[in-house]
Amino acid sequence: MIKVGIAGATGYAGIELIRILLGHPEVKITKLAAKMDGKPQEISDIFPSLKGRINLVCTDLDINDMAKESDLIFLALPHKVSLKFVPQFIKLGKKVIDLSADFRFDDLKIYEEWYAPHTEESKKLNPQAVYGLPELYKEKIKKANLIANPGCYPTGIILGVAPLLVNKIVETENIIANSLSGATGAGRVPSMVAHYPECNENVKAYSIATHRHTPEIEQELSKLAKKEIKISFTPHLLPMNRGILSTIYLNLTKKMKEEEIIKLYQNFYKKEPFVRILEKGTFPETKNVYGSNYCDVGIKVDERTNRAIIVSAIDNLVKGASGQAVQNMNIMYGFKETLGLESPGITP
């Protein structure tokens, strides 16, 4: 039984971590923290769905107090905030899974260009961070003390195209990815973007060619291809709560049948419990992964243009955030990888 603290417990990723970990047989949640402005509150009063399941009080974050009561810390904090706290927890001998972007980048200059300057302490720590995509970095995750949990859009896109790039059957230029996301991707803090009259009955593209997940996607795709890759990435906001559907277009280097590529994907992910490769002619839907840690992948070959069209679907709060964080925790501690994450998607 490991003791777990969660900082950022009042956000959507925070409540999802609590929900998942309450069903994990090897975990005890011991501390909850968030920006409470000195007004501690029962977490079940903030989220009534938790009544009768957990009676912890959520307080402002006290580093020493949380470290004293926890073996592992989940940081579900806004980007840029973890730069301050991660070094302190690591210095106190704690394992950390950070759900922000703060330690995802190998090149600090790229992170600082898209987010914020690193601190002197976080700069020294950055090389120790392991990018927490289990399907690609499982062996490194096993030995890590600091996990940089991937972004939601990158997770769906990277898993969607990894087999093509590793097997060198697509061109590395002119890769296009379009992703559609539910409103929880904008976080729980009220904003005009997610304001009901603004997003209901509406679909819109945003951050076109400027979304800060772009360099994260490019970093990981470049590693897979063993050469620098640039992509065109456009996210879209849909009037739904959860889910990301990504459609990725890649030019094939030779003529291939769908059956060949599907088989290639099945072999690539045959040991990965949370990636489901769909049969020919079947394509992912966000409803089929809603509330689950699965990534569904469908494949189409456009013979007219000799292009592979890959469609992936994840729940942005689970495989795109908290579920993947728990999957990483399981690997770090030698638990069964699927422990606490076995639930299928919710239908309808």
Alpha helices in 116-244 (DSSP H): 120-125, 134-142, 152-166, 196-199, 214-225
Q: Which amino acid is at 337?
A: E
Sheet holding 231-237, edge to edge: 204-205, 231-237, 175-181, 244-251, 307-314, 295-302, 275-277
How far, in Å, CA of 96 to CA of 241, rounded?
28
Q: Which amino acid is at 322?
A: S
User: What stretch of H or E contains 344?
Assistant: none
Active site residue 199: no
Q: Which of 58, 152, 199, 295 is catalytic?
A: 152
Tell me if 141 sits within 8 A of 332, measured CB to CB. yes
Q: How many CA atoms lie within 13 A of 63 on its CB side?
A: 13
| Torsion from C-alpha of 19, 22, 23, 26, nearest 10 degrees | 140
* DSSP state letters, 14-66: HHHHHHHHTT-TTEEEEEEE---TT--EEHHHHSGGGTTT--PEEE---HHHH
Neighbouring CB atoms inside 10 A of 99's CB total 31
Cross-strand pairs, 299: 310
**CB burial of residue 306 (10 Å; 0-12, 13-18, 19+):** middle
Check if the beta carbon of residue 199 is closer than 8 Å to that of residue 237: yes
Residue 288: partners with Cβ closer than 8 Å, 6 or more residues away:
294, 296, 313, 345, 347
As to burial, measured by CB atoms within 10 angstroms (0-12 exposed, 13-18 middle, 19+ buried), residue 148 is buried
Q: Which residue numbers are catalytic?
A: 152
